Amino acid sequence: MTAPEAICSQVLKRITPDEEERERVFSLAEEVMDRLRALLAEEGLWSDVRLEGSLAKDTWLSGEADVDIFVRFRPDTPRRFFRTRFLELAKEATKGLEQVERFAEHPYLECYAEGIRINIVPCYAVEQGAWLSATDRTPYHTEYVRARLDERLKGEVRLLKKFMKGIGAYGAELRTGGFSGYLCELLAIYYGGFLEALRAASRWRRRTVIDPAGHYAGHEDEAIELFRHHLIVIDPVDPGRNAAASVSIEKMALFILAAREFLKKPSEVFFFPKGPERIDLDGLRMEIRSRGTSLIAIHVEFYDMAPDVLWGQLWRTLKALNGLLKAEGFTVLRSTAWADETSNCVLLFELESAVLPPVEKHIGPPIWLEEHVERFIEKSARDPSLICGPFIEKDRLCVLKKRKWPNALSWLKERLRRGGREVGVAPLLAKHMARGFRLFSGEGIAELCGELKGLRPFLLDFLRGRPGWLADRGR
């Protein structure tokens, strides 16, 4: 047995559910499904209550079971029923459990029992391809995968899922931008196993096309033109859908790098990363102080935003502020966002320096362009920030001007004080930002970490920027 195979064998023993766990999880699922069937029968509506997801396909990981219950309704069932009575019945079926209403394309119920998440999702019973909602595909996904998995491949899927989780590339939600469970299943089936998928991924390039059902066989260029994504995995049950559409270029690159590293030096750390390093606030302050850069954090309190909506707002805002800080002359080294997904979010920027020289140089047109030169001279003459020029440098006019915003904190405070809509803050986040926000810089961010649970290890990971599975390279 080779080193990678030996590691895989050890990991598989740890992540495969035993009979006791299986019985406990499936008993819970059946109990909720039976209650739901009875309540729906009382309503007199035709419905089909089904177990879907990794539990139905037997690709779930020990200790990480999600119970995905889908309820199929006839195509003429009005969508308002999903928003109203269906949610009431789902809540009744899970009475006594912690319940949270979620919204994707339409509402669904998320609840928790014995540490197990239960999702109850409505969809339509339609023929393949005649989709009325995105969730209508799920039963077909389940059937496709189950028909192609034997006991060995189920283990291979588990390994790929755990690997993706271990490196931080698992999850199709906006927060992560990674690989969904269904995508992991497709990759393991297509390549024939976990190590085979890693070997193939290590050679991926942009616009790689994977077509398990051969929908575009011989004319893959049509798929590239249609989807225009970094990674294209044609959904076997829907040729018009890219199952890898959620995968960001960063998470694709992360998987490629991790695959190469594991094949070179296999280790369980890829599957079971070390827990967050323990560091007190004084240690965190020292880490920030010794860095020599400028860290800025914007803290906003929010309410009543579903996670995917929140993360869409955060990524959009981060991109806009990045661009505007650069336009003001600040060098943004890195930026990211954090949220507890209930009431607090933080936008984090690392700049070369938050303070720029008070004077900046503007280079004008070449002297040969007479009309442009004339306009530049006239504009400069009216500019109150002008302190020198216009003067000629080589063949161009130049001026020196007082910089309007030499301090990034001052610029952010002014631009965000009314919510920041005019500088690209996403509208829902801007509404909360207008109610108030807090700016922290440098070592002061440690104080914010003392307030917000979970921010401290996130910040430390951001500062280190090196995955655990690369920790021993070059050291």
Mark whether 31 and 48 lie in a shared domain: yes
CA distance 142 to 306: 26
* H runs (alpha helix) in 293-332: 307-327
Are 172 and 103 within one domain?
no
Residue 444 has pLDDT above 80, yes or no: yes
Asked whether residue 237 is domain-assigned, the answer is yes
pTM here is 0.91
- Which pLDDT band, with edges at 50, 70 and 90, does 2 fall under? low
Q: Is 178 contained in some domain? A: yes
DSSP 8-state symbol, 179: B
How confident is the model at residue 1, as a pLDDT? 58
CATH number at residue 104: 3.30.460.10
Q: What is the largest CA-CA distance in the chain?
A: 86
Q: Would 275 be classed as within a structural domain?
A: no
For residue 44, the model assigns a pLDDT of 87
DSSP 124-178: E---TT--SSGGGGHHHHHHHHHTT--HHHHHHHHHHHHHHHHHT-B--STTT--
DSSP string, 44-64: T--EEEEEEHHHHHT-PPTT-
Residue 350 bridge partners (DSSP): 295, 334
User: Does the pLDDT value for residue 223 go beyond 70?
Assistant: yes
CA angle (355, 358, 359) in 5-degree steps? 130
For tokens 């509402």, name the residue.
107
Q: What's the domain range around 343?
A: 281-355+406-465
Asked if residue 295 is part of any domain, the answer here is yes
The pLDDT value given to residue 473: 63
- In CATH, what number is assigned to the domain containing residue 160? 1.10.1410.30
Residues 6+ away with beta carbon under 8 Å from 55? 25, 26, 29, 65, 66, 67, 68
Same domain for 302 and 440?
yes
- Is the residue at 1 inside a domain? no
Region 242-264: mean pLDDT is: 96
444: three-class secondary structure by DSSP: helix
Q: Which residue has the higher pLDDT, 102 or 435?
A: 435
Does position 101 have pLDDT exceeding 90, yes or no? no
User: Is residue 305's pLDDT more than 90?
Assistant: no
In a domain, 472, yes or no: no
The pair of structure tokens assigned to 108 is: 């669904």
372 in the same domain as 333: no
419, 425 Cβ separation under 8 angstroms: yes
Total number of domains in the chain: 4
Q: Which two tokens stand for residue 379?
A: 């504009």
Q: Out of 270, 296, 318, pick the residue that ends a domain.
A: 270
Distances (CA, A) of 39 to 42, 46, 76, 343, 414: 5, 12, 20, 34, 55
DSSP assignment of 362-403 equals: EEEEETT-HHHHHHHHHHHHH-TTEEEEEEEETTEEEEEEE-
Q: Render pLDDT for 342-357 as a digit per residue (tens, 0 to 9).
A: 999 999 999 999 999 9
Mean pLDDT confidence for 204-217: 95
Same domain for 60 and 119, yes or no, is yes
Per-residue HEC secondary structure of 227-289 comes to HCCCEEEEECCEEEEECCCCCCHHHHHHHHHHHHHHHHCCCHHHCCCCCCCCCCHHHHHHHHH
d(CA 290, CA 187): 43
Tokens of 282: 């004084």
